[in-house]
Amino acid sequence: MWLEIALFMKKFLFPLLAGFCVVLALFMVQPYLSTGVRASEEVDELQKAINELEHLKQLSEAATTPLENEVKNLDSRIASARAGIAKAQQDAKSVEEKINEREDDLADQYVILSRRVHEQYKKARTFSPLLLVIQSSNAADLTKDLAYRNSVKAQDNKLIQTISSELAQLETDKAELEQTQKTLASLQTQLDSQAAFFKGEIDKAKDYQKDLTGKIAELSARQQEIINARSGGYTVSGDSELADDYLASIKGFNESAPGGYFGIFSFGSYSHRNGMSQYGALGRAKSGQNYQQILSAYYSGSSIKTDYAVMDQISVDGNGSGSFEDWYLMRIYEVPESWPSEVLKAQAIAARTYAIRYTNNGQKSICTTESCQVFKNSPKGGAWEQAVKDTRGMVLVDGGGNPVSTQFASTHGGWSKTGGWDTTDGSGGSNFLDKAYEKIGGSPWLYKSWWRAGYSASGDTCGRSNPWLSPEEMADIVNAHLVISKGNSGEAERISPVTTSCWGGNPYSMGELRDVAGQYGGISSANSLSVSLGDGRTNTITINGVSMSGDQFCKAFNLRAPGNLRIPQWSGSSCNGAFFNVEKK
């Protein structure tokens, strides 16, 4: 076995050390990396440096992999050797117990032996053949006496020889036992030393590779900053503390998340990002805008027609039919009636126009849920009723006089497909949250981590105590992306949440997915992050040098994230055009 280990060290230790030497070359590259270059060339220079570091990392990994494989074999041999040592130690203990028993027995026999030797000595000194003849009554008695005496003497001699032999063997066995115990102790020490040595070498290699990964990530982040600057991309560090769930807010993340953890924050909720943002409308009203200005901002190119031939009656799914103005519109529950009247008027006109367009001015029935607009068969009353009356007959139309599409949603996330940036200056950028009308309106969904079932801030959490991801959990999302994008369908089919108590199925464990993703560049712990945002969408997410489009990350996250964590999308499935941010504590 020791010959095998010596050959193993010769075969693999030298390549490992060579790998270390290659890694050390990084420090020779570093001054070059720090040299100033023109901005127009910096991205290319950084890419060259990244490629060089990747090459060094691959060399180190190539040198380490055989060593890891051999250590696995060595571990198996060590386990077998330790089992053998344990058995030998048990056997030695048994031998020791038997020796102790034999020592006790021999102690008793030694007393008998001493007596026998003493008796023989006395008999030898006092024995007289003549006396024996005189004492014998006849020749037969004499013969018997002589035979008896010879028999006793023979038995005594045999006992003396046996005890003497056993005493000698006992001393030999004790000496061998002591030597065996010394050998076993030495073997155990050598095995432990060899195992510690090889594992220590692997740990050193892993440390070097981790250092390389960090430097690659730093350069990639710098490269991404330059690309962002050229392409108009930007990054955001959220400060909107309005989420309706403390743990789901950026405030909760900044104050309570452990260092190194990640938070995934969506801009907006389950929004199609078309038409009016209701919280944005509230923010605009608070900023002094009237209902005409609000509608113009969200439905560009439309105008308010006051004499549109509005239908008299409307059919409502499951509720029969009734007056369009005095029954149906009075029962629309889309915004609180406590909101400013300008918001209520804008909502009333949008709701009226939506119903006319959806039913083709009364030609078909309309649904009662968020899929259309929320209807309850009970008058809402109050300020809402007044807003409907104040805008009676008003409809938003296009240049041809036809009702326009007046979709609306609670919160778009500061940007809509139809109107662009919903901010005080109409622009985006890294501070767009501060300028968002939805922030002025106090939307709890403007910048939020979604981790509870449904919409409620008290929804089920599937056993999680917070919505944040540890470095290992974030690495698991990256690995899911790699297997989805590079693996085959068989490898990807087990990518689902590890929380089977809520989702069931047969998902990979984090360790299993890490092993599968290993062939595609998988990672074990996320420690670097770069994010690039665009107009109403997430451009790229880069973690530990692994770059993903926003849509790719969203898909992997929504498939694999634990518990009820998700990036909410309109219709609940597609990640096309996902708009979210990833923050690292």
Cα separation of 57 and 23, whole Å? Answer: 7
572 token code pair: 């609940």
Return the CATH architecture of domain 2-231: Orthogonal Bundle (1.10)
- For 291-417, strand residue ranges (E) read 303-305, 313-316, 320-323, 395-397, 408-409, 415-416
Asked whether the beta carbons of 346 and 291 are under 8 A apart, the reply is: yes
Tell which residue, 425, 400, 406, 403, has the closest CA to residue 414. 425
330 token code pair: 């009075």
Cα–Cα distances (Å) from 64 to 44, 399, 419, 523, 525, in that order, read: 30, 70, 55, 16, 19
Cα separation of 314 and 142, whole Å? Answer: 145
Model-wide pTM > 0.75: no
pLDDT value, residue 2:
41
Cα separation of 569 and 271, whole Å? Answer: 7
Write down the domain spans for the chain.
Answer: 2-231, 246-268+443-584, 276-426
Model pLDDT for residues 174-184, shown as the tens digit of each residue: 777 777 777 77
Q: What is the DSSP string of 31-83?
A: HHHHS---HHHHHHHHHHHHHHHHHHHHHHHHHHHHHHHHHHHHHHHHHHHHH
pLDDT value, residue 123:
60
Output phi, psi for 245, to 5 deg. Answer: -135, 115
Identify which of 53-67, 135-149, 201-215, 436-450 has the greatest average pLDDT: 436-450
Cα separation of 136 and 149, whole Å? Answer: 14
Confidence bin at 32 (pLDDT 50/70/90): very low
Tally of residues, the chain: 585
SS3 assignment, position 278: helix
Cα separation of 237 and 297, whole Å? Answer: 27
pLDDT value, residue 284:
99
Asked whether the beta carbons of 406 and 347 are under 8 A apart, the reply is: no
- For 144-188, strand residue ranges (E) read none
Output phi, psi for 474, to 5 deg. Answer: -65, -40
pLDDT of 442 > 70? The answer is: yes
Model pLDDT for residues 498-520, shown as the tens digit of each residue: 998 988 889 999 999 999 999 99
pLDDT value, residue 80:
72
Q: What is the DSSP string of 187-210?
A: HHHHHHHHHHHHHHHHHHHHHHHH
Cα separation of 179 and 183, whole Å? Answer: 6
Say what percent of the chain tops pLDDT 90: 53
pLDDT value, residue 4:
44
Asked whether the beta carbons of 164 and 156 are under 8 A apart, the reply is: no
Give the type of residue at 224. Answer: Q
Cα separation of 506 and 498, whole Å? Answer: 8
Higher pLDDT, 24 or 573: 573
Asked whether the beta carbons of 280 and 582 are under 8 A apart, the reply is: no
41 token code pair: 């060339």
Q: Can you tell me the mean pLDDT for 34-60?
A: 62
Cα separation of 578 and 491, whole Å? Answer: 25
Cα separation of 315 and 366, whole Å? Answer: 7
